[in-house]
Chains A and B, each alone.
Chain A
Amino acid sequence: MSEADRTSEAIAARVKALESMLIEQGLLTTEMIDRYVDIYENEVGPQLGAKAVAKAWADPEFKERLLEDGTAACAELGIGGGQGEHMVVLEDTDEVHHAIVCTLCSCYPWPVLGLPPNWYKEPQYRSRMVRAPRQVLAEDFGYEIPETREIRVWDSSSEIRYWVLPQRPPGTEGWSEEQLAGLVTRDSMIGVAPIEAVS
């Protein structure tokens, strides 16, 4: 194997090349591969983003740094690389809720959120979220945003990748960062699901 093949980009391209050749030969379809990806997709790093969110909830100074410069603050936690560069973190408040899409491809901060779910890559999600975000959140995700709250939808590109800092749920006072991280889901950082309230 040549030196160039050792870089991550080259090996990713090689996997893509093999995949396309086997599909052309009729051995496989993209859907067959996606099936196995779906089963294991949660094993590529979403817990890193949960760690950053939990720290921001517990440590106001870290939160300030995270909102100021998401890339640098995540690097403090050892999170970065891959498609995580130029991350902008959007803070949810009582007045404003944020959600992310990528309207042209599927740009996505995977070091933080793990692999994008397959629905994120579907054109229907992207185009409908831009046209009617309140309706899509309610109907497709069961996430009702009160009428008194503004919704902002952000378009990730390869230059800026956005992700959402959800609101800390009530009833979690005094929780450790590990406990808090357990509440944070991938969908809440995309902005399509709330953090489940603690009973």
Chain B
Amino acid sequence: MTTSAVGSESTAGERRSVDELIGDLPGRSNDLAFDEPWELRAFALVVAAHEAGGYAWAEFQQELIASIREWEESADDTDASWSYYQHWVRALESVLAGRGAVDRNAVDRRTCDVLATPKNRNHHEPHYEPIAVDPARTTSIPEAP
């Protein structure tokens, strides 16, 4: 349970192949850090959908380039709205829409559904005390004679 189901050797190999895949994409910083969980989720979704045969990597690449170019043409350097992985999401949607796989309006509707469902329903109350305590055995166990 503590270790991932993926063996470390195959993980390293897989990591290398994903790193190669994303190596020549535009606009990414070298260290591939994610600021928020959704960014990693979007990243994993794009890679997994490609690996599952949803689209060729070049298709995604083209849409990513187009999305970033569009932003660059409409924004100046001081624009704080830059979000690299937001372009990943847009590019993914463009690829899927282009293939007729997922319709943008349907994504809009589903997004509204997700937003309307509270994330942690029934779990908003603070818990001020420990939920479980395993007390110390104050008297130490006497050693066997």
Contacts and interface: CB of A to CB of B under 8 A. Distances in A.
Interface of A: 1, 6, 8-22, 25, 27-28, 32-41, 43-45, 82, 86, 95, 98, 101-105, 107, 110, 115, 117-119, 122, 124-125, 129-134, 140-142, 147-160, 187, 192
B1 A14 contact: no
Contact of B140 (A12, A148, A154): A148
A15 B8 CA distance: 28
Given A8-B38, A39-B15, A130 B131 contact: yes
B12 to A, nearest CB: 9
A125 B1 contact: yes
Contact of A159 (B11, B44, B54, B126): B126
A104 B83 CA distance: 32
Interface of B: 1-2, 4, 6, 11, 14-15, 18, 31-45, 47-49, 51-54, 81, 83, 86, 89-90, 92-93, 96, 101-102, 106-107, 110-111, 113-115, 119-120, 122-128, 130-138, 140-141
A11 to B, nearest CB: 6
A183 to B, nearest CB: 18
Given A32-B48, A38-B4, A105 B123 contact: yes
Contacts of A156: 127
Nearest to B93: A18
B106 A21 contact: yes
28 contacts: A12-B36, A14-B107, A16-B111, A16-B114, A17-B113, A17-B114, A18-B89, A18-B110, A27-B52, A32-B48, A32-B51, A33-B48, A44-B36, A105-B123, A107-B123, A129-B132, A130-B131, A132-B134, A134-B134, A140-B1, A148-B136, A150-B135, A154-B130, A157-B120, A158-B119, A158-B120, A159-B124, A160-B128
Given A18-B89, A18-B102, A13 B114 contact: yes
Nearest to B33: A43
A21 B106 CA distance: 9
